[in-house]
Structure 1
Amino acid sequence: MNSTPRDRDDDGRARSARPRDGLGRPLPYGEKGVERQPEGVVRTPDETLVEAQRLLDAGMPFHAHEVLEDAWKSGPEAERGLWRGLAQLAVGLTHAARGNATGGAALLARGAESIGPYVSAMPYGIDVAGLTRWAGALSDELRREGAVVPAADRAPRLRAGR
């Protein structure tokens, strides 16, 4: 049995207090990590997309995933598949950047499938067709080459023309 106490939040849920790097990997206690995204923040769809894009462009897809996950959990039921799929795309890029080609390809495919039903609506200007193409191309590359992907260089554009 592990005798190390687990970090807990104010509600008693397990929450790691370890610092994390830009790809969300835990660092040893006491090291300087990147600032974590607060959980449970309710943002407008526009605020969510702007913040997630900023984080993706900065090479921090794990942190973008946390922002998108908040929208998935707090948004209307009819949009949950959209936000869940966007979060999965960000996690897929996270795995690809960490060198986990198999996990990255799987999550990119799952994310593309989740956002697919929204392609004709383009909610909030989200480029669903472009994101689906991006995810397919990156997934194919990961399956074929299995290389580590630089997250910032391969970050998708969430909205068309932005």
Structure 2
Amino acid sequence: MCGPWSWDHGPLFLLDLISKADLMKLPHCFSTSILAGCLLLLSGCGGVSDAPTLVVVKGKVTLDGQPLDTGNVLFVPIDGKGRADAGPVVKGEYELKCTAGEKRVEITSQVEADKPAADGLPDYKSRIPAKYNRATTLTATVKSSGENTIDFAVTSK
């Protein structure tokens, strides 16, 4: 015990120091101001974000000279470091947010196969050859500033 007050019962002993009459004299906005101040102090405790900087990449995708109706485009860092970023292709156009750098690009699009899978569920086949997805030969340079419009013309053969 230190002085007439004790921490043995937690910080509630502080309430004994202020009379109820004193509390009634404090304006309601004072307590609101204290709360707002605490929230402001805590909001500055997050530090610097480790999230990578993303830039917009957009363009057109054609298959055999025609806009690819549906699909996906994936940008993967060539050096294998960092994240891969993907976005949908709709009516031959795509737009996504991506990290800057040299990328390997994969384009995918699937259609339902003529025959169902062995389990009776629908089966799908790729409309895009492997040289544009799993074994892609496509690359792109995504700039950290300025416009990133990158078009891809692929063939089904």
> Which TM-score band applies after superposition, normalised by the shorter structure?
under 0.3
Greater Rg by CA:
2
Q: 1 or 2, which has the higher helix percentage? A: 1
Q: 1 or 2, which has the higher strand percentage? A: 2
> Could you state the TM-score of these two structures normalised by the residue count of structure 1?
0.24
State the structure with bigger RCO (CA 8 A, min sep 6), 1 or 2. 2
